[in-house]
Amino acid sequence: MAFFRTINFSEPLPSIAGDGVTLRTPQMTDFSEWAALRETSRDFLTPWEPTWPTDDLTRSAFRRRIRRYAEDLRTDQGYAFLIFRHSNDAMVGGLTLANIRRGVAQAGSLGYWMGLPHIRNGYMTAAVRAVIPFAFATLRLHRLEAACIPTNAGSIRLLENTGFQREGYAREYLCINGIWQDHLLYARLKDAPAP
């Protein structure tokens, strides 16, 4: 069993291809498209995300975000991706593998967001299905965890359709939209059969 970093990314993280989507690490050149998609989706995303800082959609805040992603990658603590539609290379959302824990855990947390114009098109399902082999084969994780607010029916459907199983209920688990919210806890194990 690996107790330390299992891969060496001396070069940029490779893109991950899925069914109709590509996942790749964010770059500064993505700022304008990212900021426009997030602004268009603000009202849709607000109930499901932490409160946005007042400068969240500025170039300098995006630059800090890119630096944090690079540091997380360097230290094997997290892997951030933007999701692009194959047909026209449009950005549709984002996905992260965060809180990577090595040693006896070999686990990480899955987080994601979808831009409002692109919901209910299967892009996030394709992205999650594409990142699962990366998490288990490349990163050699044993367990992927995810949490969602109990009223988020779309997120529940996504997790269950991609092989995650409900494992519990955490009271006041995360501060979402300025309120400590209860969450359903899900996980998928490395050797779990594909749905």
pLDDT, tens digit, 9 for 90 and up, residues 105-137:
999 999 999 999 999 999 999 999 999 999 999
The structure tokens listed for 9 are 């990314």
Question: What pLDDT was estimated at residue 4?
Answer: 47
Question: Which of 28, 34, 17, 156 is closest to 92 using CA atoms?
Answer: 34
Asked if the model's pLDDT at residue 8 lies above 80, the reply is no
3-state DSSP: the chain helix, strand, coil percent, rounded to 5? 35, 30, 35
Asked if the model's pLDDT at residue 12 lies above 70, the reply is no
Mean pLDDT in the chain?
A: 93
pLDDT, tens digit, 9 for 90 and up, residues 82-107:
999 999 999 999 999 999 999 999 99
How many helices (H) and strands (E) in the chain?
5, 8
β-strands 107-114, 143-148: how paired?
parallel
Instruction: Find tokens 């686990």 and name the residue.
Output: 107
Kindly state the percentage of the chain with pLDDT values over 90: 90
Question: Which of 150, 149, 83 is closest to 122 using CA atoms?
Answer: 83
Query: Rounded to 5 degrees, what angle do the CA atoms 132, 72, 105 make?
Result: 55
Enumerate the domain spans of the chain. Answer: 16-144
H runs (alpha helix) in the chain: 31-40, 42-45, 59-74, 123-133, 153-161
Among 47-51, 72-76, 154-158, 191-195, which stretch is predicted with the lowest mean pLDDT? 191-195
Residue 101 CA to residue 107 CA, distance in Å, equals 5
Question: What pLDDT was estimated at residue 140?
Answer: 96
Q: Cβ neighbours of residue 32 under 8 Å, at least 6 residues apart?
A: none
- The reported pTM is 0.92
> Contact, 146 vs 159, CB < 8 A?
yes
> Contact, 107 vs 42, CB < 8 A?
no
Question: What pLDDT was estimated at residue 2?
Answer: 45
Burial (0-12, 13-18, 19+ Cβ within 10 Å), 132: buried
Q: Is 191 strand, coil or helix?
A: coil
Asked if the model's pLDDT at residue 171 lies above 80, the reply is yes
pLDDT band for position 10 (cuts 50, 70, 90): low
CATH of 16-144, one of 3.30.2130.30, 3.40.630.30, 3.30.70.141, 3.30.2000.10: 3.40.630.30
pLDDT, tens digit, 9 for 90 and up, residues 30-66:
999 999 999 999 999 999 999 999 999 999 999 999 9
Question: Which of 73, 82, 83, 84 is closest to 108 using CA atoms?
Answer: 73
